[in-house]
Structure 1
Amino acid sequence: MPKILFTKKLSKTDIEYRMAVPMKSLYAFRIPKGEHSKDFGVTDIHGKRWRFRCCTRKTDPYPKPVLSAGWIEFAKTRSLKVGDEVTFSVVGMKGAEDLELGIQARKKIKLFGEVLWSDPL
């Protein structure tokens, strides 16, 4: 059973440049000590693998993690917009060191003034 790592409503910056990651979830990306980025794979609900990069600030005492490389391609492929949601979950272990991560997105739909959510993408 997957454990939700975080769910996030997407902002304009998340869609156009990079997606900010909640600090409490940084541990899941397993960035090696002394380094400031790590490439990792996630699997979407259709079984497709995606490669993203999680980066942290080098000099700031607050790391402020973001997803950079690969993330924008995912967002564009799924036609994600501001207000849509993305959920990352831990689906298992990959070797002794890395967590196996999953991703799904939902589109926010307004219909007759009511907010509905699409099936996971």
Structure 2
Amino acid sequence: MPKLLFTKKLSKTDIKHRMAVPLDSLDAFQIPEGEHSKEFGVTDIHGERWRFRCRSRKTDRFPKPALSSGWMEFVKTRDLREGDEVTFSVMDMKGAEDLELGIQARKRIELFGQVFWSEPL
């Protein structure tokens, strides 16, 4: 059963350049000691596989992790916009060497002053 890693409301930077990852989730990405990035697999709710890269700063005491490679393709394919949200979950991958995450996105819809959320994408 998947374990919730984080849910994030997307900012302008998240949809135009790279997605900032909450610092308290960085350990889940298992970046090897002495390295500053790691590629990992993501499966969406439709079973489609994606590859993302999580990077952290090399010389800063605040690592500011972010998703780079692969992330913008996901944003464009799902037509995500500022205010939409994504949820990442750690999949049960006992014994697997590669980190495998689940992802789902929901679009924020404002109609007549009320906010609604789409079904997961």
Q: Percent identity?
A: 77
| Change over 3 Å in CA distance of 1:45–1:7 after alignment to 2 | same
Paired residue secondary structure (1:61):
coil
| Change over 3 Å in CA distance of 1:45–1:91 after alignment to 2 | same
Using the alignment, how far apart are the partners of 2:98 and 2:26 within structure 1? 13
User: CA contact under 8 A between 1:30 and 1:98: conserved in structure 2?
Assistant: no
How many residues align? The count is: 121
- Residue type at the aligned position of 1:32: P
Structure 1 match to 2:24: 24
User: CA contact under 8 A between 1:36 and 1:58: conserved in structure 2?
Assistant: yes
Stretches of structure 2 that go unaligned for 5 or more consecutive residues are none
Question: Higher strand proportion, which one?
Answer: 1
Stretches of structure 1 that go unaligned for 5 or more consecutive residues are none
Alignment root-mean-square deviation, CA = 1.1
Normalising by structure 1, report the TM-score. 0.96
Normalising by structure 2, report the TM-score. 0.96
- Residue type at the aligned position of 2:60: D
Matches within 5 A, 1:37-48: 37-48=37-48
Runs of 4+ that moved beyond 4 A: none
Structure 1 match to 2:64: 64
